[in-house]
Chain A
Amino acid sequence: MNMNIYQDIQYFYPELVLGITILVVIIADLVTSMDKKLINPFLSIIGLIVSIYFSVQLLDIPDRMIFGNMLIIDTFSIFFRIFFAFSTILIILISLPTFKKSGEYYALLLATTLGMSLMSASVHIAMIILALEIVGVGCYILAGYRKFELRSSEAALKYMLYGAVSTGVMLYGFSFLYGITNQTDLYAIGEALRSSNVDSFVLMISVLFILAGIGYKIAMVPFHFWCPDVYEGAPTPITTFFSVGPKVAGIALLARFIYAGLSSQIGLDAESWASLNQLDLPILLGVLSAITMTIGNFSALAQSNLKRMLAYSSIAHAGYILMGFAIFTSQGLTAILFYAIVYMFMNFGAFAVVDAIAHKIKSEELDDYRGIARRAPYLCFAMVVFLLSLTGLPPTAGFIGKIMIFASLINGKLYWLAVIGALNSVVSLYYYFRVAKAMYLKDSRSEESTPIQFSPVHVVVITLLLIPTIVFGIFWSPLVSVTSFGLNFVLPL
Chain B
Amino acid sequence: MFLTLITFLPLVGALIITLIPKEKILLIKQVALTTALIVFVLSIMMLFQFDTNQIGINNESTFQFVEHHKWIPVFNIEYFMGVDGLSFPMILLTTLISVIALIASWNIKKAHKGYFGLFLLLETGMIGSFCALDFFLFYVFWEVMLLPMYFLIGIWGGPRREYAAIKFFLYTLFGSVLMLLAMLALYFTNQPHTFNMLEMMANSGGYGRTFQLVVYVALFIGFAIKVPVFPFHTWLPDAHVEAPTAISVILAAVLLKFGTYGMLRINFPMLPYAANYYAYALAVLGLINIIYGAFTAMAQKDMKKLIAYSSISHMGYVLLGMAVFTEAGINGAVMQMFNHGTISAMLFIIAGVIYDRAHHREIEGFGGLAVQMPVYAGITSFAFFASLGLPGLAGFISEAMVFIGAFPVYKYITAFAVGGVIITAAYYLWTFQRMFLGKLNEKYTELPDINLREVISVTPLMILILFVGIYPMPVINLMKNSLNYLITVVHP
Binding site for B on A (CB under 8 A): 384, 388, 391, 393-395, 399, 403, 406-407, 410-411, 415, 418-419, 422-423, 425-426, 429-430, 433, 436-437, 440-442, 475-477, 480-481
Choose among B144, B165, B178 the residue that contacts A395 (Cβ–Cβ < 8 A): B144
- Please give 10 more A-B residue pairs, beta carbons under 8 A apart, in addition to A384-B147, A422-B177, A437-B166: A393-B146, A395-B144, A399-B143, A411-B184, A411-B188, A423-B174, A426-B170, A437-B154, A477-B72, A480-B74
Q: How far is the CA of A430 from the CA of B187 in the complex (A)?
A: 29
Q: How far is the CA of A395 from the CA of B148 in the complex (A)?
A: 13
Closest to B186 in A: A410
Task: Assess whether B143 is in contact with A394, with CB atoms less than 8 Å apart.
Answer: yes
Closest to A480 in B: B74
> Of residues 131 to 145 in B, which have CB atoms within 8 Å of A's CB atoms?
139-140, 143-144
Q: Is the CB of B173 closer than 8 A to any CB of chain A? A: yes
Task: Assess whether B166 is in contact with A422, with CB atoms less than 8 Å apart.
Answer: no
Task: Assess whether B184 is in contact with A430, with CB atoms less than 8 Å apart.
Answer: no
Chain A contacts of B155 at CB under 8 A?
A: 440-441
Chain A contacts of B184 at CB under 8 A?
A: 403, 406-407, 410-411, 418
Choose among B144, B146, B154, B174 the residue that contacts A440 (Cβ–Cβ < 8 A): B154
CB distance from B183 to the nearest CB of A (A): 9
Q: How far is the CA of A406 from the CA of B143 in the complex (A)?
A: 17
Q: How far is the CA of A370 from the CA of B185 in the complex (A)?
A: 41
CB distance from B71 to the nearest CB of A (A): 8
Chain A contacts of B144 at CB under 8 A?
A: 394-395
Choose among A418, A422, A429, A477 the residue that contacts B170 (Cβ–Cβ < 8 A): A429
CB distance from A97 to the nearest CB of B (A): 27
Q: How far is the CA of A393 from the CA of B179 in the complex (A)?
A: 13
Q: Is the CB of B73 closer than 8 A to any CB of chain A? A: yes
Choose among A407, A423, A433, A476 the residue that contacts B166 (Cβ–Cβ < 8 A): A433
What are 7 A-to-B residue pairs whose CB atoms are below 8 Å? A410-B188, A423-B177, A426-B173, A430-B170, A433-B150, A437-B162, A441-B161
Chain B contacts of A441 at CB under 8 A?
A: 154-155, 161-162, 165
Closest to A476 in B: B72
CB distance from B174 to the nearest CB of A (A): 5
Choose among B73, B147, B151, B174 the residue that contacts A393 (Cβ–Cβ < 8 A): B147
Chain A contacts of B147 at CB under 8 A?
A: 384, 388, 393
Give the 10 A-B CB pairs with smallest separation, nearest first. Answer: A422-B177, A394-B140, A410-B184, A441-B154, A394-B143, A426-B174, A411-B188, A426-B173, A407-B184, A441-B162
CB distance from A389 to the nearest CB of B (A): 12
Task: Assess whether A410 is in contact with B177, with CB atoms less than 8 Å apart.
Answer: no
Closest to A410 in B: B184
> Of residues 94 to 149 in B, which have CB atoms within 8 Å of A's CB atoms?
139-140, 143-144, 146-147
Q: Is the CB of B358 closer than 8 A to any CB of chain A? A: no
Report the tally of A-B residue pairs with Cβ distances under 8 A.
74
Q: Is the CB of B466 closer than 8 A to any CB of chain A? A: no
Choose among A399, A410, A430, A481 the residue that contacts B181 (Cβ–Cβ < 8 A): A410
Task: Assess whether A418 is in contact with B181, with CB atoms less than 8 Å apart.
Answer: yes
Chain A contacts of B181 at CB under 8 A?
A: 406, 410, 415, 418-419, 422
Assuming the contacts A426-B177, A441-B162, asked whether A410 and B72 have C-beta atoms less than 8 A apart, the reply is no
Chain A contacts of B170 at CB under 8 A?
A: 426, 429-430
Q: How far is the CA of A303 from the CA of B130 in the complex (A)?
A: 39
Q: Is the CB of B489 closer than 8 A to any CB of chain A? A: no
Q: How far is the CA of A234 from the CA of B166 in the complex (A)?
A: 32
Q: Is the CB of B180 closer than 8 A to any CB of chain A? A: yes
Assuming the contacts A395-B140, A430-B170, asked whether A477 and B180 have C-beta atoms less than 8 A apart, the reply is no
Chain B contacts of A433 at CB under 8 A?
A: 150, 166, 169
Q: How far is the CA of A437 from the CA of B139 in the complex (A)?
A: 25
Q: How far is the CA of A388 from the CA of B140 in the complex (A)?
A: 13
Closest to B150 in A: A433
Q: How far is the CA of A182 from the CA of B401 in the complex (A)?
A: 80
CB distance from B117 to the nearest CB of A (A): 11
Q: How far is the CA of A475 from the CA of B177 in the complex (A)?
A: 21
Q: How far is the CA of A46 from the CA of B149 in the complex (A)?
A: 45
Chain B contacts of A410 at CB under 8 A?
A: 181, 184-185, 188
Closest to A411 in B: B188
CB distance from A390 to the nearest CB of B (A): 13
Chain A contacts of B140 at CB under 8 A?
A: 394-395
Q: How far is the CA of A164 from the CA of B170 in the complex (A)?
A: 41
Q: How far is the CA of A222 from the CA of B486 in the complex (A)?
A: 53
How does the 8 Å CB contact mask read for B322-355 relative to A, with 1 for contact and 0 for none? 0000000000000000000000000000000000
Chain B contacts of A419 at CB under 8 A?
A: 181
Chain A contacts of B174 at CB under 8 A?
A: 423, 426
Assuming the contacts A388-B147, A394-B143, A441-B162, asked whether A422 and B72 have C-beta atoms less than 8 A apart, the reply is no
Chain B contacts of A440 at CB under 8 A?
A: 151, 154-155
Assuming the contacts A393-B146, A410-B185, asked whether A477 and B165 have C-beta atoms less than 8 A apart, the reply is no
Q: How far is the CA of A425 from the CA of B72 in the complex (A)?
A: 24
Chain A contacts of B162 at CB under 8 A?
A: 437, 441-442
Scoring A391, A410, A430 by chain B CB atoms within 10 A of each residue's CB, the highest score goes to A410
Task: Assess whether A429 is in contact with B143, with CB atoms less than 8 Å apart.
Answer: no
CB distance from A319 to the nearest CB of B (A): 16
Chain A contacts of B177 at CB under 8 A?
A: 422-423, 425-426
Task: Assess whether A477 is in contact with B166, with CB atoms less than 8 Å apart.
Answer: no
Task: Assess whether A407 is in contact with B178, with CB atoms less than 8 Å apart.
Answer: no
Chain A contacts of B188 at CB under 8 A?
A: 407, 410-411
Closest to A388 in B: B147
Q: How far is the CA of A342 from the CA of B328 in the complex (A)?
A: 50
Closest to B139 in A: A394
Closest to B189 in A: A410
Chain B contacts of A480 at CB under 8 A?
A: 74
Task: Assess whether B73 is in contact with A422, with CB atoms less than 8 Å apart.
Answer: no
CB distance from A278 to the nearest CB of B (A): 30
Closest to B111 in A: A374
Chain A contacts of B187 at CB under 8 A?
A: 407
Chain B contacts of A388 at CB under 8 A?
A: 147
CB distance from A196 to the nearest CB of B (A): 37
Chain B contacts of A393 at CB under 8 A?
A: 143, 146-147, 173
Chain B contacts of A477 at CB under 8 A?
A: 72-74
How does the 8 Å CB contact mask read for B51-92 relative to A, with 1 for contact and 0 for none? 000000000000000000001111000000000000000000
Chain B contacts of A436 at CB under 8 A?
A: 150
Closest to B214 in A: A415
Choose among A411, A422, A430, A481 the residue that contacts B180 (Cβ–Cβ < 8 A): A422
Q: How far is the CA of A388 from the CA of B148 in the complex (A)?
A: 12
Task: Assess whether A406 is in contact with B73, with CB atoms less than 8 Å apart.
Answer: no
Chain B contacts of A429 at CB under 8 A?
A: 169-170, 173
Closest to A413 in B: B188
Task: Assess whether B73 is in contact with A430, with CB atoms less than 8 Å apart.
Answer: no
Chain A contacts of B139 at CB under 8 A?
A: 394
Q: How far is the CA of A436 from the CA of B147 in the complex (A)?
A: 11
Q: How far is the CA of A425 from the CA of B169 in the complex (A)?
A: 12
Chain A contacts of B161 at CB under 8 A?
A: 441
Q: How far is the CA of A262 from the CA of B147 in the complex (A)?
A: 44
> Of residues 166 to 201 in B, which have CB atoms within 8 Å of A's CB atoms?
166, 169-170, 173-174, 177-178, 180-181, 184-185, 187-188
Task: Assess whether A430 is in contact with B166, with CB atoms less than 8 Å apart.
Answer: yes
Scoring B143, B146, B173, B188 by chain A CB atoms within 10 A of each residue's CB, the highest score goes to B173
Scoring A391, A415, A426 by chain B CB atoms within 10 A of each residue's CB, the highest score goes to A426
Q: How far is the CA of A410 from the CA of B187 in the complex (A)?
A: 10
Closest to B182 in A: A410
Q: How far is the CA of A132 from the CA of B73 in the complex (A)?
A: 39
CB distance from B357 to the nearest CB of A (A): 26
Chain A contacts of B151 at CB under 8 A?
A: 440
Chain A contacts of B185 at CB under 8 A?
A: 410
Task: Assess whether B143 is in contact with A422, with CB atoms less than 8 Å apart.
Answer: no
Chain A contacts of B150 at CB under 8 A?
A: 433, 436
Scoring B71, B150, B154, B177 by chain A CB atoms within 10 A of each residue's CB, the highest score goes to B177
Closest to B154 in A: A441
Q: How far is the CA of A415 from the CA of B154 in the complex (A)?
A: 35
Chain B contacts of A476 at CB under 8 A?
A: 72
Chain B contacts of A437 at CB under 8 A?
A: 154, 162, 165-166
